[in-house]
Structure 1
Amino acid sequence: MNIIDRMESNVRSYCRSFPTTFKTAKDHLIIDENGKSYIDFFAGAGSLNYGHNNETLKRALIEYIEGDGITHALDMTTVAKKRLLQSMQDVLFAPRGMDYKVMFPGPTGTNAVESALKLARKVTGRRNVISFTNGFHGMTLGSLAITGNSGKRAGAGVSLHDTTHMPFCDYFDAETDTISMIENYLADNSSGIDKPAAFILETVQAEGGVNVASKTWLRRIAELAKSSGAMLILDDIQVGCGRTGPFFSFEFADIKPDIVCLSKSLSGYGLPLAMVLMKPEFDAFHPGEHNGTFRGHNPAFVTAAAAIEAYWRDDRLSKEVHEKARMIKETFLDLADRYDGSVRGRGMIQGIEFPDHSVAGKISKSAFGRGLIVETAGPDDEVLKVLPPLTIEYDALKEGLAILTESVHENLKPQSASKPAVTAKS
């Protein structure tokens, strides 16, 4: 690791949590240079929903490259782009009754968010964006402005403005009506809150601690956005592409956002790719008004189309996600009952928090020593967050959960049975 210590910036982080040098990876496994295998419950922070080097996607990519397919094309038309858009229309949009135009910004999630914010402000003529406590939307300035975490925001080095942070679903407790609170602020001309251009949110706040929005709360936010003349932006970057079961995480609430941001597992293969979906009436940019050199990442178009066609023409993968989610949740509920923890999540993004907020990092470290990669989340890294590939084999999932359980036992002592575990909505 000397070359890393000498040459790579101090800003590196994940390599500090998982201190080894990885060499190869396949499906749910990552193997280091010494030949040790690790079960991956991290999946590239949600970028590898179909596992490492997925065979179906790899074949499509290799065939494309060997055929001298276009790699870089800015926003020029290519066969790969046409196939991806056709796959999205036929497999994702038409069966769901969705009608969206597609914009390719730069290739990362924060590029999608920045584009969405810019579009909403252009369409509405307003500047203020309402975001939510514990939300995370990216590391560029516009995305940081709508992110809640103070540590991330401090890295900007400049003031972050034109945004108002409001309480997310169940931020205070399950009984407090945060929607009515927001409605009252917007109705009061003396509240000091400018009329919003948009509301932006995640249905499950992944980095913020696996906080789950209920169906009712999401529907009411959609209604409030419409009644206030604002746009509803869904950041589906980490919890979309099947992570919660359906392809889009908001499908269960039967809402159709004005704008949807996608990235991470959109390419299916870990290749950088981002996308902004907008209702056709909001396609307001003039040609070239928003652009980016790598918005034409054709190898990612190829694997994205292959993933959509292989996994989303029917509901088999969605059903698998729900079955595996039950396995994860049952394990977490058992641990929560024994150690006074709280469990939250939806689909195959699940989190568990213990009274001692320092213990999640210790459990992650113990799990790594046993051959499992699992990360933490939340404002103080107090939540142990599980993000396995959606395609992980059942036996591998069981093995990983067994390692996780052993790691929890190593770091915690059973609590008294006087206080029941608290389980958030899922």
Structure 2
Amino acid sequence: MNTNAFETYESVVRSYCRHFPKVFTEATGAVIKDEDGQEYIDFFCGAGAVNYGHNNPYIKQKLVEYLSTDGIIHALDMYTVPKREFIETLEEKIIKPRGLDYKIQFCGPTGTNAVEAAIKLARKNTGRSNIFAFMGCFHGMTLGALSLTSEMYARNGAGASLNDVTHIPAPYMFEGLDVIEYMQTLIDDDHSAVSKPAAVIMETLQAEGGIRPFTDEFLRDVREFCDRNGILMIVDDIQVGCCRCGTFFSFERAGIKPDMVVMSKSIGGMGMPLAIVLLKEELDKWKPGEHNGTFRGNQLSFIAGKASFEWLLKNDVEAETRRKGEIVREFLTKEVISLDSRLELRGMGLIWGIDFGKINPELSEQIIEKCFEQNLICECAGRNGAVLKIMPPLVIDDELLMKGLEIIAAATKEALA
């Protein structure tokens, strides 16, 4: 295995390769292969970018067919057939059947750019600059999105002031704290020193924050709070959308309709770069080109994204995700959480976390290393990296899912011993 080029010429900012120091060559479904021929079960899923599996055969075939026709690849925001078909399929097969009504904005092909667009548009619509975000959140690494992100390690890398955001305690942080009343007090009290926000932005399940699902009731309460105060509600579905939580949009379980939804990662089908903002029509107050980007017209992403919608509907991925999620919950409850009363399991669908924080936050890192030695790729999240994050592709078969879970159980037993 030759890593000289990376270690000699690539910036030290690289991170995931430090946990998984192999040179990878192939990937299919939920399995990744390195150049030595070793196969690894993928419980990381490109941080949610390949929900429908590596090289999903249906999606890949659509890409190959398009590439063979000399179809246009780069088109900025000009009209193209792939873009039209992506829009029509997303609207007619995903958005409208759920009783939603959104226009689609294509921005730069990263989640953080979608967040930038959403907060700019919220400020443009309301004339207010402040944004409420929740402690424990992760919304991106560019300056606007980073101002929302609460993790200090990420924020310290900015080298600049990160302003116009008020971070609100997440509902799991302080027992007995009424978070809605707290936000209302910040708005109403003329001595709170906090300006009324343009928007509240939130993940319905904080992923990087430690796999922290917000309750259905809390999501509805935030929606009501925003309505009552003339504040926009933005849901960040970049990592936990695209069926990850068991429904296409993570907020469906609460029966709410956000004013804007930001999406990336698996919206591009199989790792193709794409990001969008879904917004209510009355909020679409942009001037032409006011939020721009050279690669917001990636035609291969439109092809792959459309194919993913077709594939997930045909294969009932939402129901399968919920079914497999129960397998994960039952196994981990019985085989891992029972090992120590201080362990905590959280999650839904196919995103789960085992919290070692009450024992030793460093255990999660040790277990990740032990899992990799046994050919399982998984990551950590949460405060001090104390949460072992389990996020396989949604297409993983039951046998491979169980094999990965058994590796985690064995590694946890060894670490706790």
TM-score tier by shorter-chain length is over 0.9
User: Where do 1:52-71 residues align within 5 Å?
Assistant: 52-71=54-73
2:134 match: 132
Q: What residue is the counterpart of 1:208 in the other structure?
A: 209
Shift of 1:126: 0.3
Which moves more between the two structures, 303-312 or 175-184?
A: 175-184
Q: Secondary structure at the match of 2:198?
A: strand
Question: Counterpart in 1 of 2:364?
Answer: 360
Rounded to whole Å, the distance in 1 between the matches of 2:233 and 2:239 is 18
SS at match of 1:312: helix
Decide which of 376, 391, 401 is 2:405's aligned counterpart: 401
| CA deviation vs aligned residue, 1:185-223 (integer Å, no higher than 9, x gap) | 212121111010000000011011111100010001011
Q: Matches of 2:148 and 2:301 in 1, distance apart?
A: 28
| 1:45-81 CA-partner distances (Å, limit 9, x unpaired) | 0101011000000000000111111110000000000
Name which of structure 1's ranges 184-193 and 281-290 shifts more when overlaid on structure 2.
184-193
The match for 2:350 is 348
Deviation per CA, 1:270-294, whole angstroms, max 9, x where unpaired? 0110000000000010111111000
Name the residue aligned to 2:167: 165
Q: For 1:2-401, list aligned pairs within 5 A.
A: 2-173=4-175, 175-312=176-313, 316-334=316-334, 335-340=336-341, 341-354=343-356, 355-401=359-405
1:312 Cα deviation after fit? 2.5
CA distance in 2, matches of 1:30, 1:74: 33
- Asked whether the 8 Å contact 2:31–2:41 carries over to 1, the reply is yes
Can you list the C-alpha shifts for 1:323-378, whole angstroms capped at 9, x where unaligned?
11111112222211212301111211100112211100000000000010000001
Superposed displacement of residue 394, structure 1 = 0.7
Superposed CA deviations along residues 145-199 of structure 1, whole A, max 9, x for unmatched, are: 00110110010000100000001121223x4321122122212121111010000
Kept in 2, the 8 Å contact 1:132–1:165? The answer is yes
Letter in 2 for 1:44: G
**Cα distance per residue 1:130-149 (max 9 Å; x no partner):** 00001000000001100110
Contact 2:339 2:413 in 1 (8 A): no
Q: Matched residue of 2:95: which SS? A: helix
CA contact (8 A) 1:170 1:176 kept: no
Verify the 8 A CA contact 1:169 1:214 in the aligned structure 2: no
| Counterparts of 1:294 and 1:84, CA distance in 2 | 16
With normalisation by structure 1, the TM-score equals: 0.95
Q: Any idea what SS the aligned residue of 1:266 has?
A: helix
User: In the aligned structure 2, how far is the partner of 1:189 from the partner of 1:255?
Assistant: 30
Q: Deviations over 1:369-425 (max 9, x none)?
A: 001000000121100000000010111101111111111111113xxxxxxxxxxxx
SS at match of 1:170: coil
Contact 2:381 2:388 survives alignment (8 Å): yes
User: Does the residue aligned with 2:383 lie in a helix, a strand or coil?
Assistant: coil
For the 8 Å contact 2:202–2:234, the answer to whether it is kept is yes
Runs of 4+ in 1 over 2 A off after TM superposition: none
* Structure 1 residue matching 2:289: 3-state secondary structure: coil
* Structure-2 separation of matches of 1:141 and 1:188: 29
Matches of 1:220 and 1:289, distance apart in 2: 33
- Counterpart code for 2:327: M
Secondary structure of 2:321's aligned partner: helix
Shift of residue 229, structure 1, vs aligned partner: 1.2
Percent identical across equivalent pairs?
46
2:74·2:298 contact (CA, 8 Å) conserved in 1? yes
Structure 2 equivalent of residue 412 of structure 1: 416
Distance 2:291 2:183 in 1: 32
Cα distance in structure 1, aligned partners of 2:236 and 2:171: 16
SS of 1:380's equivalent?
Answer: helix
Count the aligned residue pairs. 411
Provide the secondary structure at the position in 2 that maps to 1:31: strand
Aligned-partner SS, 1:74? coil
Question: Structure 2 counterpart of 1:252, which letter?
Answer: R
CA distance in 1, matches of 2:59, 2:134: 36
- Residue 313 of structure 1 and its aligned partner are, at CA, apart by 5.6
Q: Structure 1 unaligned runs (5+)?
A: 414-426
CA distance in 1, matches of 2:274, 2:53: 17
- Residues 208-259 of structure 1: per-residue CA shift (max 9 Å, x gap): 1111100010001011111111100000000000000010000010111000
Where structure 2 has 5 or more consecutive residues not aligned to the other structure, the ranges are none
